[in-house]
Chains A and B, each alone.
Chain A
Amino acid sequence: MSKKVHPYIPNMVPEVKQKMLDEIGVHSIKELYSCIPEKLRFKGTMNIPKALNELELRRHIEGLLNKNVSTNEYLNFLGAGCWQHFIPAVCDEVNQRAEFLTAYAGEPYEDHGRFQALFEYQSLMAELVDMEVVNVPTFDWAQAAATSIRMASRITKRTKVLLANTVSPERKKIITNYGTPQLTFEDVDFNLNTGLMDLTDLERKLSNDVAAIYFENPSYLGFIESQGQEISNLAKKYGAIMVVGVDPISLGILAQPSQYGADIVCGDLQPLGMHMNFSGGQAGFIATHNDPTFINEYPSRLFGIIPTVQEGEYGFGDIAYDRTSFADRENGKESVGTQTALWGITAGVYLSLMGPNGMYELGQAIMQNSQYAVMQLNKIKNIRGSRITSPFFKEFMIDFNDTGLTVEEVNKQLLEHKIFGGKDLSKEFPQYGQSALYCVTEVHTKEDIDKLVSVLSKVVTK
């Protein structure tokens, strides 16, 4: 062992170590490892560089991070499941508090604040999605969707799942891996021009074996699915559960899925106060009505409000804990563990700050900015600002097919102009040829959008 006492390891002090060894009644730490057979001892040296002090560490890490170019430096139009939004400073202040940052699995007593903050998150989110039950968040949107689908399968005792063919392909990978081998998945066609689900195809594929139909709104491709009620009617006709994935930041202005018949709503919390962090800001939510049949199928923790022996005190605890794998291992519902609780608290802070009007104004600003972008892009020769004709929210697909350039080529040139162009969809949605998914939010100014348009005009008319 190194002789130098490390600041993170106080008991490296030799005298203290000796006192402790004396108490234990051994001569050396080596003796404490006598249970590990010689054969299993690691005899080599780990090829890990020698320790850096705090100053050296800071130089090293900052040196590495300086090789990155952030969206603060370049203009960013990437979305596709991780989005650049305005983040109120109070969100960061709260989630950086050491109390929340370093808490974990405390009891409702010493962690009363954590329980309350998460109960409030559930309650605020319940208002946003207009449901009564929201879970302590899971890993991300895809996990939330995958679990929602498994909940639907357990409730209906059926195993066939229909997925809108416009669901994010990356999310689909996660959903199908999570669902197999017990579930089978089938895609439902969509109209290339409107993006809307092909209801004839849906009805053809629906049957009394279908557990769930899952679609996203706004969709991965940005358009808004306006046939929610029709899809719900068809689902109900066959006894299937309708699961809708939603970008929660749209819900200040877009109809909440429960309005058009969603039984389970899920999505990602990242837009609600989380920095993108190279995808470290994702967190998944699941919401349902206050129906025990549904509640009993959640794998997640659900915090509820309860009284204490002291009049006037709020207390909190786990609702229907026995359904979880914490309580019943393999007989619990799926599994629960460390997921994304701090992002739940942060989303709660965000919604408290925004209030009803803030969510409305924000939704409106996103609609306005993104529509402005498409209108200006449409002015560029050979580009279609939005390949899909339906109204959209925040994201839209630019069609580059008539430019003779690939999206890859376009993006390469945009990068030279310090612009991150939209996500290349040519592999995920080859039916659209050379098209890219662009994201415009409240953070984009008119100048940002005009710059994109002006650079793109030059790029495609070269």
Chain B
Amino acid sequence: MLKIQRHSVNIDFHQAKWNEPIIFELHQPGEVGVEVPQACQEVVDVVGDGISVLPQNIKRANKPNLPEIGQARVLRHYVRLSQETLGSDFNVEIGQGTCTMKYIPKINELLIRNAKLMELHPLQDVSTVQGMLEIIHNMDLAMREISGMDAFSFQPSGGTQALFAMASIVRKYFEVKGEADQRNEIITTIFSHPSQAATAVVKGYKIITLHPDENGFPDIEKLKEVVSERTAGFVVANPEDTGIYNSKIEEFTKIVHDAGGICYYDQANANGLLGITRAKEAGFDMCFFNLHKTFAAPHMCGGPATGALGVTEELKPYLPGPIVEKNGDQYVLNDQLEHSIGKVRAFHGVAQTILRSYAWIRALGQDGLKAVAEIAVLNNNYLYSKVSKIRGASVPYVQGQRLEQVRYSWEQLEKETGVTTEDVQRRMTDFGLHYWTSHHPYIVPQPFTLEPTESYSKADLDEYIHALEQISMEAYENPEVVKNAPQNSTIHQLIEADYLDDPAKWCTSWRVYQEKVKNEAEITS
């Protein structure tokens, strides 16, 4: 037998391409996707058709124009679409920096598919949901240990909603103090998630944005300048999107506290910090963790998710209710929170995600959690060392001092070859790898943000690095390969032109597309 010569990395990748029609094109009149439960004959004998009781004006005149498709074809359609989706189970997903794409343990998926969770109604008598409440309470206790905060709500169902809840608490707090009109500003930083600023605006705040100093730290002198009796809150991540840890964070929170403001900490991603440093010691009044990031719940194409919101004792009465508490040996729902902002999300939040993250914490234990942080930081610094050596790549601002992620730049690559970070992004899909640029605005030119987490092995990291090296080489030697990418993805380059921004051309749904296609055909004929 001759040795079969193989590449150690995946350079011959090609993504699935099924060329699936739009679901409406599968319509075959008469086909049935599922048999719908009917009322039994005895019920029908008593009540008749059930619909005649409705006045004409509240009956639907025509059935909805949904397609009729047999069950197997519906399944095949969606399974094929799933194959045209590069989930993190399928790739070394370190290219989505800030989002902590880590291994999603299969055991947790098995655990949530339990009728004793799936088929629970949120309003059941508490005596019948003690197990679920115990899980939420245990999760609360674990989060308190990790953050130093005193109470958690799991109602916010995403980081954005947690940020919104925190801005709501800030407002309510100053309403109670009688300072709501006076304190109308929230300070944030440019290297933060857009939702920090955006949610504060919804709560009526004026936004003040701190830009980085020459080393990439939020500008502390600027903070001193802008804090005042108008300051309601200061929201920040640490590390920020650059991965740089701000060692002066305690000074920042003190400056804001001295001015009478509240400090809230965006810990959507806390992956480098578990067991290392906490919100409390840094002087924060509130923080939140995305359970779908640091705590290994899946991202699910973008939710449902959980932004676990923690507060100090002083702010506990402001939490959205109810919160789970232990009373003797019983778990209860406490909705008697004196200054509660009310609610931000229906019922209790996303129970499956809470359970998954609880299971993840229990699978790691306190030592394991610390190992998560340490290896995430090790992996990131290894990647940093390798990627910063790639031709055309650089790391702006202070060198070193990166924890779990790094924001890199292809500024030099773009200057020397014309290849942009978006070109690299498309080319990475040819290797079966995801790559994200960064949030707007691009303060770092031609940015990309990598976060390797603890989940990936050295070999995985090397595979990703190899792909970046390959693309850099192509950019210098044969840039067209990169510029014309992707070639091995499900589809080729999109023609965006005006199709997405011109109301005359955009198609928000299949019915709009069909109408516009028909109109175009009429015009051209």
The 8 Å CB contact of A308, one of B93, B494, B509, is B494
Binary interface encoding of chain A residues 254-287 relative to chain B, with 1 for a CB under 8 A from any of its CBs, else 0: 1110011000000010000001111110110000
Interface centre among B110, B301, B432, B460 (most CB of A within 10 A): B301
Tell whether, in the assembled complex, residue A302 and residue B508 are in contact, meaning their CB atoms are under 8 Å apart.
yes
Chain B residues with CB under 8 A of A57? 107, 111, 359, 362-363
A127 in contact with B66 (CB, 8 Å):
yes
B509 and A307 contacting across the interface, CB-CB below 8 Å = no
Q: Is B8 in the interface zone, CB < 8 Å from A?
A: no
CB of A40 within 8 A of CB of B302, answer: no
CB-CB under 8 A for A6 and B99, given A82-B347, A314-B22: no
B65 lies within 8 A of chain A by Cβ: yes
Choice from B59, B74, B367, B374 contacting A29 with Cβ under 8 Å: B374
Known contacts A100-B87, A102-B88: does B111 contact A61 (CB below 8 Å)?
yes
Q: Kindly list chain B residues whose C-beta atoms are within 8 Å of the C-beta of A446.
A: 39-40, 42-43
- Given the contacts A116-B20, A446-B43, A176 and B458 also touching, CB distance less than 8 Å: no
Of all chain A residues, the one with the shortest Cβ separation from B277 is A40
Contact with B along A99-123 (1 / 0, CB 8 A): 1111111111111111011111011
Q: Does A162 contact B (CB under 8 A)?
A: no
- Which residue of chain A lies nearest to B436 when distances are taken between CB atoms in the complex? A105
> B20 — nearest CB in chain A belongs to which residue?
A116
In the bound assembly, the distance between CA atoms of A62 and B249 in angstroms comes to 42
Contact A320 B500 (CB under 8 A): yes
Of listed B38, B145, B160, B486, residue having the most chain A CB within 10 A: B160
Beta-carbon contact of B371 and A9 below 8 Å: yes
How long is the Cα–Cα vector from A81 to B111 in the complex, in angstroms? 25
Q: Give residues 331-355 of B contacting A (CB, 8 Å).
A: 341-353, 355
Contact A342 B303 (CB under 8 A): yes
- Whether the Cβ atoms of B123 and A318 lie closer than 8 Å is no
Stretch at the interface among A128-136, A185-193, A208-216, A398-406: A128-136
* Stretch from A236-244, A357-365, A453-461 forming part of the interface with B: A357-365
Check B509 against A123 for contact (C-beta < 8 Å): yes
Q: How far is the CB of A348 from chain B (nearest CB, A)?
A: 7
Encode A351-377 as 1/0 by CB contact (under 8 A) with B: 111111111111111011101100100
Question: Which of chain B's residues have a CB closer than 8 A to the CB of A84?
Answer: 119, 121
The minimal Cβ–Cβ distance linking A284 to chain B, given in whole angstroms, is: 9
- Whether B328 sits at the interface, judged by CB under 8 Å, is no
Do B282 and A40 touch (CB < 8 A)? Answer: yes
Bound CA span A355–B281, Å? 56
B64 near A252 with CB under 8 A, answer yes
Interface centre among B38, B198, B209, B296 (most CB of A within 10 A): B198
**CA of A177 to CA of B342 in the docked complex: distance in angstroms?**
7
In this complex, the member of A68, A108, A353, A371 whose beta carbon has the largest number of chain B beta carbons within 10 angstroms is A68
Chain B residues 60 to 110 lying within 8 A of chain A, measured CB to CB, are 60-61, 63-69, 71, 74-75, 77-91, 93, 96, 99, 101-105, 107, 109-110
Q: Cα distance A51–B429 when bound, in Å?
A: 37
Given A94-B79, A279-B346, A304-B499, A335 and B164 contact (CB-CB distance below 8 Å)? yes
Q: A110-B429, A306-B495, A372-B47 are in contact. Are A99 and B83 (CB under 8 A)?
A: yes
A2 and B367 within 8 A (CB): yes
Cβ of B444 under 8 Å from chain A:
no
The reply to whether A278 and B366 contact each other, CB–CB distance below 8 Å, is no
A136/B107 in contact, CB under 8 A = no
Q: Which residue of A lies closest to B246 (CB)?
A: A35
Residues of chain B lying within 8 A (CB to CB) of residue A282:
304, 345-347
Chain A, residues 180-208, CB within 8 Å of chain B (1/0): the string is 11100000000000000000000000000
Q: Are A67 and B59 in contact (CB under 8 A)?
A: no
Residue of B nearest to A356 (CB): B63
Contacts of B159 in A (CB 8 A): 337-338
The answer to whether A70 and B119 touch (CB under 8 A), given A1-B370, A47-B145, A342-B303, is: yes
- Chain B residues near A327 (CB-CB < 8 A): 440
Chain A residues whose C-beta falls within 8 Å of the C-beta of B116 in the assembled complex: 65-66, 68-70
CB–CB B88/A104 < 8 A: yes
A290→B512 CA distance, assembly (Å): 8
Q: A61 to chain B: which residues have CB within 8 Å?
A: 111, 135, 355, 358-359, 362
Residue of A nearest to B356 (CB): A61
Contact A68 B302 (CB under 8 A): no
- Residues of A near B305 (CB, < 8 A) are 338-339
Chain B residues with CB under 8 A of A304 = 499-500, 506-508
Are A357 and B107 neighbours in the complex by a CB distance under 8 Å?
no
Known contacts being A9-B455, A229-B57, A364-B49, is A113 close to B81, with CB within 8 Å? yes
Report whether A109 and B454 are in contact in the complex, using a CB–CB cutoff of 8 Å.
no
Chain B residues near A337: list those with CB within 8 A: 158-161, 193, 195
Contact partner, A42, options B277, B302, B348, B500, Cβ 8 Å: B277
A84, chain B: closest CB distance, angstroms: 7
Name the interface residues of B119-150: CB closer than 8 Å to any CB of A. 119-125, 127-132, 134-135, 141-142, 145-146, 148
User: Hey, which chain B residues are within 8 Å of A310, CB to CB?
Assistant: 491-492
Please give, as numbers and ranges, the residues of chain A lying within 8 Å of B359 by CB-CB distance: 57, 61
The verdict on B1 contacting chain A, using a C-beta distance below 8 Å, is no
**Does B255 touch A at the CB level, under 8 Å?**
no
Q: Is residue B228 within 8 Å, beta carbon to beta carbon, of the partner chain? A: no
Min CB–CB distance A269 → chain B (angstroms): 11
In whole angstroms, how far apart are the Cα atoms of A380 and B132 in the complex? 36
Given contacts A48-B365, A173-B342, contact A338 B299 (CB under 8 A): yes
Stretch at the interface among B308-316, B375-383, B467-475: B375-383
The answer, yes or no, to whether B225 is at the interface (CB within 8 Å) is: no
Does any Cβ of A come within 8 Å of B118's Cβ?
yes
Q: Is the CB of A11 within 8 A of B375?
A: yes
A127, chain B: closest CB distance, angstroms: 5
Please tell me if B50 contacts chain A, counting CB pairs below 8 Å.
Answer: yes
Bound complex: CA A317 to CA B506 (Å): 10
Complex-state Cα separation, A335 to B250, whole angstroms = 29
Q: Does B450 contact A (CB under 8 A)?
A: no
Q: What is the bound-complex CA distance between A134 and B80, given in angstroms? A: 23
* A122 neighbours in B (Cβ, 8 Å): 508-509
Verify A317–B494 contact, CB threshold 8 A: yes
* Residue numbers in A under 8 Å from B496 (CB-CB): 306, 317
CA–CA, A62 and B355, complex, Å: 11
- Cα A305 to Cα B403 in complex, Å, equals 40
Q: CA separation between A66 and B103, bound complex, in Å?
A: 27
- Let me know if B157 and A139 touch, CB within 8 A: yes
> Within A32-86, which residues are at the interface with B (CB < 8 Å)?
32-33, 35-37, 39-42, 45-54, 57-58, 60-62, 64-72, 74, 76, 78, 80-82, 84, 86
Besides the known contacts A9-B454, A104-B299, A329-B207, 12 further A-B residue pairs in the complex with CB atoms under 8 A apart: A51-B364, A61-B355, A78-B123, A82-B121, A97-B78, A98-B90, A99-B82, A110-B432, A295-B508, A318-B500, A338-B290, A352-B67
28 residue pairs of the A-B complex, CB under 8 angstroms, read A20-B381, A24-B384, A33-B377, A42-B281, A46-B366, A48-B369, A50-B367, A51-B365, A69-B129, A99-B86, A100-B85, A109-B491, A111-B86, A114-B85, A127-B64, A127-B511, A139-B304, A142-B343, A181-B203, A280-B352, A292-B503, A307-B499, A329-B194, A335-B195, A339-B303, A354-B33, A364-B38, A391-B55
7 tightest A-B CB contacts, nearest first? A337-B160, A113-B84, A51-B365, A353-B33, A279-B347, A67-B131, A367-B50
